Every structure is written in C-alpha cells, then in structure tokens.
C-alpha cells in the first residue's frame, strides 16, 4: 500500500476571563489525560497549539504540563505551533497588533522550549488574503486552514492531500487544508473509521497526506466525550491502531512533512472560515434560508458537491449582526490607536515615569482585549456570556487607564470628544474623566451605551438584547415534544440538541431597541410590568429609537450635554424633550435633567419613563443585590422582578467588585425592575443567561398646552 502521512493538529484554548473552575475541568478531563496518553505512545507525533491564555495559566498553576510538553518536544514527538498570543481573529486587529501578538507567542515558545516556531494556528481559521505577508514577516513558514478554503477556490477533495504555496505582495507562506471529514470522525466514531478513511487516500489523486486540525476540548470536554475517549479507551485504541499500521501510515508534524514533500502548487484562497462559522455569521433570515437550502441539497443528493459554490457569510459580518460585539471591537480599536499614538510622542509633554514598561503593559492589556471568543456567537457561548464580554472591557479599560494616567499631569481632569466610534457616518459623544468614560449615541434615543467606571475597570452597562437565533426553533420544537433529544451515542456538538434549562421557550421574546441607559419611554397608564417586559405594549411616543439633536456646553468646572427632540405622543399630541447630562471634574455623579413640554394644541395624558440597564454579571448571587431607599427588597437578586409604587433611591451593590451603582430621583417615582435573560446556545446545550437588569423609573404625565414638566435624577458608580 502507498504510504500515507497523517498529521494531527491539536488546538487548546480557553477565553480570556473564563472561570477558573472551567480551566480546571478542561485540564482534568482533556488537556492532561490527552498528553499523558500521548506520552505512552512515543511513535505518535502531533503538532500542538496552546493559546497564550492557557500557556500563562499552565506556567503559573501547572508547570509540570509544560515540562511534559518539553520532554516530548525533546524526543521529537511534538511540534509547538505559534499563533496570536491571546487568540485574536488575526485579520481584524490592527496591523501592529498582529505582529505584536505573533512575536509575543514566538518569544514565549523560545523562552520555554528553546525552539523557534515554524507554523501558525489561525484563530477560528478566519482567513483573509492579506494575511500571508504578516505571517511571513513574523518569521513563520506555514498556516493550517480548512479544506473549505481550498474548495472555495475551486479545488476538489482529491487535490487536498498536501500543502500549497500562497503569498501576498510576494510574501509567501505554505497553507495546509484541514479535513472536515476527519473533524467529524475524530473522536466521535470508532477509531477504525479514521484508519479506513486514511487508507482510501493512498488511491486518490495527487498527494499522500491528510490532516485533522481541531479543538483539543473535543477529547474530553464536549458532552459525552470523556467517557468515550478515556474511560472506554477510544484514544488508546486510536493510537494503537496507528502503531499497528505503521508500515504504511506515517505520523509526522507539519514541519517534518514540509521537509519531505514539495508543495502541490500555488493557490490564492478567498476570505473564508470553517463551514459552521460561515453559517453562523449570516444574518438571521439569511441563515434560516441557508439552512433550508443545505437540507434540500442533502435530500436531493447534492450536498457533497455543493461546497465549492454554496457558502455562508464572512466573519466580519458578526460585527454587523451583533452590535454589542461591535461596540467592544470599536472601543478596542480606539484604545489600540491611542497606545500607538502615545508611543510615538513619549517625551513630548507626557509623563513617562516608568520608562517604556508602562506602554508595553498597555499593549499587553489591549492584546488581551482582542481575544476572539466574545466578539461572535454560534454554537459556542461567546458573545452571549457576560463574564467574557466584561473581561474584554476590563482589559481595554485598563489599557485606556494607563494611557490617560500618562496624558494628564493634574487630577480632576475632564474632556469631551465627538467621534464616529461605530463608523456609521455619525458622531457619538464621549465624556472622559479620571473617574469614568461614558459614550452617548444621539441617534439611538440619546442614550448611553457604554459607561466605563475606571477605578475597577468595569463597563456597568454591558448588556445584550434578546434577538432571534436560528436554533430557537429547536428550543420551540423541544417544548412541543416535552423532552430533549439527549439519547444516542457520542455525537459531535454540532449534532447535539439538548437543553441545560427547562422552560427556555418562555425567554423567546425579542427586543425592539438596544438595551442602553437613559432610554425615554411614553406608554399608556394601563400598561403593566409584564406587558412592558415582554414588549406586549405599544410605545406611545417616537423617541425611543430616534435621533436627538445635541449641543455640548463646556466650561472649566462642568460639561453639559443637551439632547433634544420633538415628536408625537399618542399619535395626535406633540412633545419636546430636552435632557441635559452634567458632569463635573472629580465627581462620580452624572446629573440628569429632563424638561418635557407640550407643544401641541391638546392636553396630553400618558406615562413617562426613563429606562436604565446595568449588568453586574450575576443575576442570582448573595453578594450582588438591590437596595431601595436604603433597604433590601423581599427578593434582592439582580435577576428579580417587581414593582414599587414610590421610590427615591435605588442602588445595585456588588460586594465582590466593591462597586455601587445608584440612581436618585428628586420626584418620587414608580419603579419597575426585571432581568434581560436570553436563551442561547453553548457546547453543553441550550441555556438561560442573565444579561442585565432593567430599571424603569416612571411618572404619570399630564400636560396642558405649553405646560412644562421637569425631572431631575442623579446617577453614579462608586467604590464601596
């Protein structure tokens, strides 16, 4: 039989900000048992990638794992792959950060293992044609993508049993096609299936290589895999079978294969990722249509021949699909630019007490804030997990704090800037002080969409709207059946349909507006809390999602942002709103004044409400709770719901973070509170996730012609 070379690429990663117990579980169930089994089979070779997040964690907590890797590296059993240190989507981060992250990984590998890495693990296999020059300039020879990338360029599966050359502007690298078929076989089917498939390659077209490059978490962390892979011995049998077929089946690393075989040719790959990612990146309606088309093609027997021509969306479209991820991304870009600008003017009036070390620390913080997981959502939790979003914000704010601390020579500083942060052609308003940084979107109801409290590096808003997802239909189907589909053998997580929480179908309510802060509502007095929270009511005014005019007034002691709009209420009425946000240097308080005037000819009778959204990450935790007029309510949890007829002061307390968020109104108000909770997908199944607490202060509003009503509120975040 013709020799076949098999390359096993294993990628291990945990997101920045993930819970420590998750990392411990991953180590116990996947990372350690896999390496220990591998060590018992010295003939088995793999190419191994750990993200920098894991390398740092292992270095600090489990250095014996690094020692084990070093032992196998020294005997030629493994090759260590490089990558962006904090696992970014490499193509979308600034160019200086691309090289910075790759160089940091190469330096780490050289320091710990004494070798220079040759290959790159590409985060989520998100490829864009401009990447080769950056990979080449980082001193790397090759990268692993998916076979889909090559099929999208017109090649067939039989032409993908080797590697190709590609370049950008003459900067050439080698590219390997990872096999989707092997991704779905390993480790979910008996190991004999993999051997059978590899044996087929000997009689196929050009080339003599196959590679499976995929997540190490599938060997023990994905549902059902620990029992299957280790307790029932799948991995041991797999390695034994490879050894038994050593006469024709040759295991090697990517670098070893390059040293033995010439490239199959040259190719230019289009923008692509793996099949599932491209599906997830599509907008909701397009994704449903795409899934239906795939099912139809499969039924008609054309599915296997359609990969070259039927594809999903581009990864970058996640930044359109999910505004919350785009907000983090744009904040990251802004701070990264500030770091580079500051680095170029060191010594020109900017404090440099720590030499260049503080700037290096700022860069490292922004690189942590580029970790990809919370910028997108598909099968994995990602963007839907508030603690992952909060972690990105935390590192971005830390980096920003370092820059601002070196820009300002005096305390109690305050600035205001107009800048198109979201690149939609319209400016946002940024108020920046030593205490906080707030971002106001005049074109989204004049609301605050980000509020960074600098002392604890925390964005107190950080919410996520309830939106339709294609997998919600599966949740509805389960509700109709009355049970989850948990039966069967070991399945890939792409094939699982199970719920971690019952009653998720009740959460399938979809928001009509972004869950920001300072959202202006008008509604009929008959509307109830339940109707408001589930959006089963009609908004009586045209203020919530619409643009406000704005004016900025500055003086030495204060900045005022005046936001105004005139619009209809109750269809025939006409109201003008002016809301002024006032901020003073050194203060943690935002003073808010509303002035509402009846501009029509008829009396107006309605309810006026101001909505706040805050997220302290844990909806049900004893150390995070509400206080109302200084007392805890009967159910103080942040995920609780309730109404209070008259209140002056509401606080959200987070003892773990040492943070208090407060709202005080001069005129006693009625209060509604309820959680925003989403039904989202994860590798463990469908689950309920707390996203924020909605707080609505509201008052009856009865205005005669030309009559004016005013409301004053103070809002703050402070350490406790």
CA dihedral sign, ordered 221, 227, 228, 232 = positive
The catalytic site residues sit at: 124, 215
* 317 has pLDDT over 50: yes
d(CA 22, CA 12): 13
Percent of the chain with pLDDT over 90: 83
CA dihedral sign, ordered 430, 610, 571, 511 = positive
Scored b (16 or more CB within 10 A) or e, 51-78 reads: bbbbbebbeeebeebeebbbebbeeebb
Q: Indicate the SS3 state at residue 524.
A: coil
Scored b (16 or more CB within 10 A) or e, 508-527 reads: beeeebbbbbbbbbbbeeeb
DSSP string, 102-122: HHHHHHHHHHHHS----EEEP
Class of domain 4-273: alpha beta
Residue 361's pLDDT band (cuts 50, 70, 90): very high
pLDDT score, position 381: 64
DSSP bridge partners of 459: 452
pLDDT digits (tens, 9 = 90+) for 77-126: 999 999 999 999 999 999 999 999 999 999 999 999 999 999 999 999 99
Which phi and psi (to 5°) does residue 698 adopt?
-145, 155
Contact, 98 vs 90, CB < 8 A?
yes
pLDDT score, position 346: 57
Name the average pLDDT for the chain: 92
pLDDT score, position 349: 41
DSSP bridge partners of 433: 414
* 354 has pLDDT over 80: no
Q: Of 548 and 351, which is predicted with more confidence?
A: 548
Same CATH topology for 4-273 and 500-719: the answer is: no
pLDDT score, position 480: 74
CATH for 500-719, options being 2.70.98.10, 1.10.8.50, 3.40.50.450, 3.40.605.10: 2.70.98.10
Take residue 423 and report the two structure tokens written for it: 């690149």
* 493 has pLDDT over 90: no
* 488 has pLDDT over 50: no
pLDDT digits (tens, 9 = 90+) for 203-228: 665 679 999 999 999 999 999 999 99
Residue 623's pLDDT band (cuts 50, 70, 90): very high
Q: Indicate the SS3 state at residue 145.
A: strand
pLDDT score, position 202: 73
Contact, 705 vs 597, CB < 8 A?
no
pLDDT score, position 485: 43
| Measured CA distances, 403 to 233, 333, 343, 436, 439 (Å) | 53, 14, 10, 14, 18
Nearest to 177 by CA among 215, 140, 203, 151: 151
Residue 306's pLDDT band (cuts 50, 70, 90): low
d(CA 617, CA 691): 7
Nearest to 685 by CA among 495, 529, 552: 495
Q: Which of 260-264, 274-278, 354-358 has the lowest mean pLDDT?
A: 354-358
* 380 has pLDDT over 80: no
Reported as type and span, the H/E element at residue 101 is helix 95-113
pLDDT score, position 350: 43
Contact, 29 vs 235, CB < 8 A?
no
* 352 has pLDDT over 50: no
pLDDT digits (tens, 9 = 90+) for 139-180: 999 999 999 999 999 998 889 999 999 999 999 999 999 999
- What would the 3-class secondary structure string for 543-585 be? CCCCCCEEEEEECCCCEEEEEEEEEEECCCEEEEEEEEEEECC
pLDDT digits (tens, 9 = 90+) for 518-577: 999 999 999 999 999 999 999 999 999 999 999 999 987 899 999 999 999 998 899 999
d(CA 289, CA 321): 16
pLDDT score, position 347: 47
d(CA 548, CA 545): 9
Which phi and psi (to 5°) does residue 594 adopt?
-105, 135
Q: Of 486 and 649, which is predicted with more confidence?
A: 649
Percent of the chain with pLDDT over 70: 93
d(CA 403, CA 383): 27
Nearest to 380 by CA among 31, 126, 687: 687
d(CA 718, CA 325): 26
Q: Indicate the SS3 state at residue 248.
A: coil
Q: Which of 129-143, 443-457, 476-490, 497-511 has the lowest mean pLDDT?
A: 476-490
The contacts of residue 717 (CB under 8 Å, 6+ apart) are: 436, 451, 453, 460, 588, 659, 660, 661, 662
**Domain boundary assignment for the chain:** 4-273, 275-321, 324-409, 500-719
Residue 489's pLDDT band (cuts 50, 70, 90): very low
d(CA 201, CA 250): 13
């Amino acid at each position: 039989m013709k020799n076949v070379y098999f390359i096993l690429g294993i990628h291990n990663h945990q997101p920045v900000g993930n819970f420590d117990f998750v990392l411990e579980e991953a180590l116990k169930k996947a990372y350690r048992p896999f390496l220990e089994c591998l060590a018992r089979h010295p003939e088995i070779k793999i190419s191994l990638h750990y993200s920098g997040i894991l390398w740092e964690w292992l270095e600090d907590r489990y250095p014996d794992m690094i020692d084990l890797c070093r032992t196998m590296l020294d005997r030629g059993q493994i090759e260590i792959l490089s990558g962006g240190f904090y696992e970014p989507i490499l193509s979308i981060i600034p160019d200086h950060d691309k090289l910075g992250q790759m160089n940091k990984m190469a330096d780490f590998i050289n320091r710990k293992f004494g070798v220079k890495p040759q290959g790159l693990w590409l985060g989520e296999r998100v490829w864009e044609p401009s990447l080769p020059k950056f990979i080449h300039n980082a001193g790397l020879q090759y990268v692993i993508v998916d076979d889909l990338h090559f099929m999208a360029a017109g090649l067939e599966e039989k032409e993908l049993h080797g590697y190709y050359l590609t370049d950008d502007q003459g900067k050439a690298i080698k590219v390997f096609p990872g096999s989707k078929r092997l991704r779905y076989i390993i480790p979910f089917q008996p190991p004999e299936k993999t051997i059978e498939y590899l044996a087929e390659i000997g009689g196929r077209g050009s080339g003599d290589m196959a590679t499976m490059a995929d997540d190490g978490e599938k060997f023990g962390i994905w549902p059902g895999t620990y029992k299957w892979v280790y307790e029932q011995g799948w991995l041991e049998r797999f390695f034994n079978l490879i050894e038994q077929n050593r006469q024709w089946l040759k295991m090697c690393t990517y670098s070893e294969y390059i040293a033995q075989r010439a490239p199959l040719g040259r190719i230019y790959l289009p923008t692509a990722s793996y099949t599932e990612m491209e599906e997830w990146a599509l907008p909701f309606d397009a994704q449903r249509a795409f899934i239906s088309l795939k099912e139809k093609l499969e039924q008609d027997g054309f599915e296997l021949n359609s990969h070259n021509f039927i594809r999903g969306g581009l990864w970058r479209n996640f930044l359109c699909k999910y505004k919350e991820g785009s907000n983090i991304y744009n904040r990251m870009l802004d701070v990264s630019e500030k770091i580079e600008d500051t680095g170029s003017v060191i010594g020109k009036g900017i404090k440099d007490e720590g030499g260049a070390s503080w700037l290096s620390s700022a860069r490292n913080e922004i690189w942590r804030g580029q970790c990809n997981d919370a910028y997108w959502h598909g099968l994995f939790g990602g963007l839907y997990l508030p603690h992952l979003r909060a972690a990105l914000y935390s590192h971005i704010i830390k980096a920003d704090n370092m820059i601002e601390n070196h820009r300002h020579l005096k305390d109690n500083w305050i600035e205001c800037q107009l800048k198109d942060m979201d690149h939609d052609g319209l400016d946002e308003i940024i108020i920046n002080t030593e205490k906080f940084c707030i971002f106001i979107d005049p074109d989204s109801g004049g609301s605050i969409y980000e509020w960074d409290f600098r002392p604890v590096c925390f964005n107190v808003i950080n919410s996520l709207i309830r939106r339709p997802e294609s997998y919600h239909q599966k949740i509805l189907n389960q509700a109709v059946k009355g049970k989850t589909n948990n039966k069967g053998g070991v399945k890939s997580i792409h094939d699982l349909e199970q719920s971690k929480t019952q009653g998720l179908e009740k959460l399938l309510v979809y928001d009509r507006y972004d869950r920001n802060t300072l959202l202006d509502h008008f509604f009929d007095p008959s509307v109830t809390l339940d109707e408001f929270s589930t959006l089963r009511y009609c908004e009586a005014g045209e203020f919530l999602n619409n643009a406000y005019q704005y004016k900025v007034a500055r003086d030495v002691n204060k900045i005022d942002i005046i936001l105004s709009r005139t619009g209809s209420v109750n269809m025939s009425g006409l109201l003008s709103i002016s809301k002024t946000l006032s901020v003073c240097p050194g203060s943690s308080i935002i003073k808010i004044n509303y002035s509402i005037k009846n501009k029509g000819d008829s009396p107006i009778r309605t309810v006026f409400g101001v909505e706040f959204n805050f997220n302290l990450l844990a909806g049900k935790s004893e150390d995070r709770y509400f206080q109302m007029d200084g007392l805890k309510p009967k159910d103080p949890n942040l995920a609780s719901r309730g109404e209070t007829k008259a209140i002056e002061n509401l606080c959200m307390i987070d003892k773990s973070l040492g943070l208090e968020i407060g709202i005080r109104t001069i005129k006693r108000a009625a209060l509604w509170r309820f959680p925003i909770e989403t039904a989202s997908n994860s590798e463990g199944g469908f689950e309920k996730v707390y996203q924020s607490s909605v707080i609505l202060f509201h008052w009856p509003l009865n205005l005669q012609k030309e009559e004016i009503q005013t409301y004053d509120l103070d809002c703050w975040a402070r350490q406790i």
